[in-house]
Chain A
Amino acid sequence: MLLARSRDNTAPEERIKALFDWLGPDGIPSCVQIVPGDLNCSGFGLSSTDYHKLASRVDEIIHCASDTSFSERKRAQIEKANVANLHHLLDFAAKSRCCFFHFISTAYAAGKRRGICPEALVDTRSFFNVYEETKHRAEMTAAKRCGREGIRLNIYRPSIVYGNSRTGKTLRFNAMYYPVKILVFLKNLYHQKHREHTRESDEQMGISFSADGTAHMPIRIEAAPSGGINLIPVDFFTAAFSAIMETALDGGVFHITNDTIKSVSDIIHYTQKYFHITGIQAVQTQNFPPGPQSRLEILFSRYTEVYRQYMQDERIFDNTSAAAILNPKGISCPDFDYRIFSRCMQYAEAVNWGNPS
């Protein structure tokens, strides 16, 4: 059963159908039943009869709904989605015959730290953003409540998820995609106007083009000496999730992460190669020149500020428990290499970065 709400005047059934249609030609599998309900409301906005009927049919719950915004300004909305709404679901779980709760969290619930992050609930008060904080609180809440109600709990902690490594398909173009998207947006904008010979000089922005259309975009991006971006493709995530769900029957915490961390310079290299851009370079924090940056650099860093932390992340996610399950099954996370990057970007361009216009 799939609990879904209506949104923007689209009924839950329609939304889920659109999702399955997007996934593949088979549509909604016959075993899936869509239950209209809204986690925003206690009782999911269902009548008491429907609510109890639903509760009587539930054995396990997978909770994957969350608000992935980072912005402090949206704290109330994020807290509501990630913490308050979890309470509604846990209330339901307590009233149902549910015996296993699967909670999809994030590796970054570990909060602000360097070095090893264990696959365990860790008490921490310091976070890079409200998303991390609320996911941490949600883990604690789920653990406490499930413990009290005798419900087993698995916490799955993916790192940064990108599209399908085999097809490049994705629904959202945030996280890893966003800084690349900004660069491509600027390149295309200036390239198009460059061709149109508009009066405005591109020099002001520092962007120039060579005869073959390669864009020179001098941007220095601050990068940590060690660390980088922990990226996993969605197909690995789903395979890992299913395997852990089937195997870890006593409950536990699992990092679904990549053993190979991508450095910022690797991603820059891929981006430049794929999109025919030059001039972007990763500069280590200690070598990052103080003083005024160029317009282009300020602009880029303004737009990607929120991702900066993840571009120079020094957290290392211990995944011993997950690996113990995944390795024997031959499930491993692919390296985010240029081949996969290109596939993802090809898809992004084909669907205009998810923007139908």
Chain B
Amino acid sequence: MTPLDHIPEDIRRTAAQCRHYAMCKIDYLETGLCPPAKKTPYVGYFPQGRMDLCDALAKDLIPVTEAAVDIISSCTLCGSCDRQCHFVTGMRPMKVMQALKAFLDAFQEKGEKPAVILEDEPLKALKNIVGEKWATNDPAHLIAYANDPFPLADRQMPGYVVLPGSADELVEIVKYADRSEIPIVVRGNGGSVFGFVFTRGIIIDVNRMKKIQLDPDNWSAVIEPGVTSFELQKAAAEHGYRVNTAEPAATVCGNIVCTGLFSTWANVYGVGADHIVDMTFVDKHGTVFSINDKNAPNVFGFKEAVLPSPGICTGARVRMHPVTDDEQGILVPFTTLADAVCFAKDISRRRIGLAVGILGGHYLSTFISPTLALAEQTRDVFSGILEMTCVVSVIGDKYTRRSIRQMVPCVIDSSTLKMFMLGLPQLVRSDLADIVQGLESDGPAYETVLSEEMLPVLEKILSPSPETIAAAVDEDLRDFYEALYSRPHMTDMVWLAMFRIVSARMSRHKHMFAFLIYVPLEPVDVIQELITSFGQIAEKHGIEHDLGFITPLDLGKRGILEYDYYIDHTDSKESEKIRLAVADIEPMVDKLSSTCKGVKFLKYIFSQGCARKENFLYT
């Protein structure tokens, strides 16, 4: 038996399936972070990096090096990664960690010695700047910075990875790279999954730069570039504030620069420059500038072209927003997307609500379900039986909720949603579907099922409790899920919208390849046309697809629309399909953009994320 035999096929498949959304880099379930990674935040020590290491060893892409031995040995088999990863992807990485240990044991038993990777000049120079521990050229580390599920780019091993501890060190690295003509790329948490953070040169990983300083008097927070959305939101929330963040594992600085940071909160908090009070960049030659400096390069303007970013953000002062203690979530169901868009536009225009987003059937069911199977069954019930094709999700104060109740015949309020969330397994199992299918009412079925008289019956059917929902997961995880869902915030729409820990579940079944387009919300035909075209192109190429979400912006004049294609990123045939589909999509969106005001492909906003939104929404 060779060491490689200790990585059986199912383990290899799991390892290759890591989505690289970096959720294991934040302690979002309060399981504690992977202990070795907490001490030494190279990606390689995080479960994500370990999955890559396993994949690379299994494919014989790298030798067993000293770092590989260290990474594998450092795993305490504590099981945190199993819980974290299961929560979003349904995967169980623990068996990968165990296989790695078995692999290493077999390797050592055979008396084999790990390969020693020699230091070269650039590595010495980098270590000189950041210290011995924080720069490496060991392939066991590099492999974790070489790939993501983006289907249109190949694996690219960097030469070096360096983790600066301060802005000064970061600037020194940039200057060194410039002098030595070595390409550099800065990496937050790689969660863009768009092939952006790869180079043959130096990767600058900002994960040691995580300072947060709140400045409530100025409704702002000063952050270093390694601070994630989750961490900043947590700090702000502890002081009664909120920041506009999107994916929780994304670094705030990276997210702003990369996409302009959009979320359902963009309805009131905006995008791009709206988030920023100030940002400091170092350009590619090592020149540092603050964007508030009158002589600084203009990052607020927008040009419809694929441009490089202004530099590396070494720190930012971002806006914090006040919260009120009567905020709650509410979902408004609709049978047609057109009606949902019209409603979302209407409330945005009337300044009703804070975070507003139209969620397609897949998002809603998958966000609230702890397993893939339950998500699929839930969707069948929600869309197929209750006729809830989409919902408008709104976070707002009591005035918001009162207004909305007056505007629509029925809503799912926070307590009903909680009931669904904690009782889903019973919902799909019960005879309710059968009863509802016999309904011949003139309104959609959800209106009857969500009627006031029906709610106590629903509660009877669902028996909502942490125990009920925990019954949906693998037996050995049930205690954990039960304890998890006993925490009030796990079913609190406001908390979930702020911390977004469930959104990555959208890709539980397959990696998503997202298309984002700024759109006018009126006339709704533009959105319909886009959705139809995305659907047709996907069908043509045999790709699974679905509407993601639409969020109104700027008092409902514009919105941002996400349409997702789903692929198995480990299957080269699927990558080819995406390649062909993209060749159809780009001209389709460009054409619509040239003929229709307000249509802008996010592709052109990448790296111009600090721009004023008006400069791309209304040009």
Contact = CB atoms under 8 A, between A and B. Distances in A.
Interface stretch (A81-89, A137-145, A181-189, A241-249): A181-189
Contacts of A181: 434-435, 438
Interface in B549-608: none
A309 B84 CA distance: 55
Nearest to B438: A178
Label chain B's interface by main secondary structure: loop
Given A298-B453, A353-B434, A355-B431, A200 B459 contact: yes
A332 B454 CA distance: 42
Contacts of B457: 186, 189, 205, 299
Given A189-B461, A302-B448, A205 B456 contact: yes
A185 B451 CA distance: 17
A295 B453 CA distance: 5
A174 interface: yes
A316 to B, nearest CB: 24
Interface in A168-188: 173-174, 178, 181-182, 185-186
Interface stretch (A53-61, A65-73, A97-105, A276-284): A65-73
| A-B CB proximity, top 8 nearest | A306-B440, A299-B453, A355-B434, A70-B440, A298-B453, A295-B453, A71-B440, A72-B442
Contacts, number: 64
Interface in B174-202: none
Interface residues of B, number: 22
A303 interface: yes
A193 B459 CA distance: 11
Contacts of A200: 456, 459-460
Nearest to A355: B434
Most chain A beta-carbon contacts within 10 A, residue among B431, B443, B459: B431
A44 interface: no
A72 B454 CA distance: 23
A153 B451 CA distance: 46
Given A181-B435, A355-B431, A355-B434, A305 B460 contact: no
Contacts of A72: 442
B434 to A, nearest CB: 4
A198 B435 CA distance: 23
Interface string B449-479: 0010110110111010000000000000000
B439 interface: yes
A174 B434 contact: no
B460 to A, nearest CB: 5
Given A189-B461, A193-B460, A200-B460, A299 B440 contact: no
Contacts of B440: 69-71, 306
Contacts of B451: 298-299, 302
B78 to A, nearest CB: 36
B456 A185 contact: no
A108 interface: no
B438 A302 contact: no
Contacts of B460: 189-190, 193, 198, 200, 205
Contact of A182 (B433, B435, B442, B459): B435
Contacts of B431: 185, 352-353, 355, 357
Nearest to B451: A302
B211 interface: no
Contacts of B453: 295-296, 298-299, 302
A47 interface: no
B57 to A, nearest CB: 43
A204 interface: yes
A173 B438 contact: yes
A357 B429 contact: yes
A355 B451 CA distance: 24
A114 to B, nearest CB: 23
B456 A306 contact: no
Contacts of A182: 435
A133 to B, nearest CB: 14
B441 interface: yes
A305 B429 contact: no
Contact of B435 (A70, A185, A190, A357): A185
Contacts of A190: 460
A189 B453 CA distance: 15
B568 to A, nearest CB: 23
Contacts of A69: 440
Interface string A101-133: 000000000000000000000000000000000
A306 B133 CA distance: 74
Interface in A265-312: 295-296, 298-299, 302-303, 305-306
B329 to A, nearest CB: 23
A299 B456 CA distance: 11
A303 B448 contact: yes
Given A174-B438, A302-B448, A357-B429, A73 B456 contact: no
A204 B435 contact: no
B441 A71 contact: yes
Interface in A300-351: 302-303, 305-306
B612 to A, nearest CB: 45
Interface in A72-94: 72-73
B456 A204 contact: yes
A355 B440 CA distance: 18
Given A72-B442, A181-B438, A355-B434, A198 B461 contact: no
A69 B438 CA distance: 9
Nearest to A297: B453
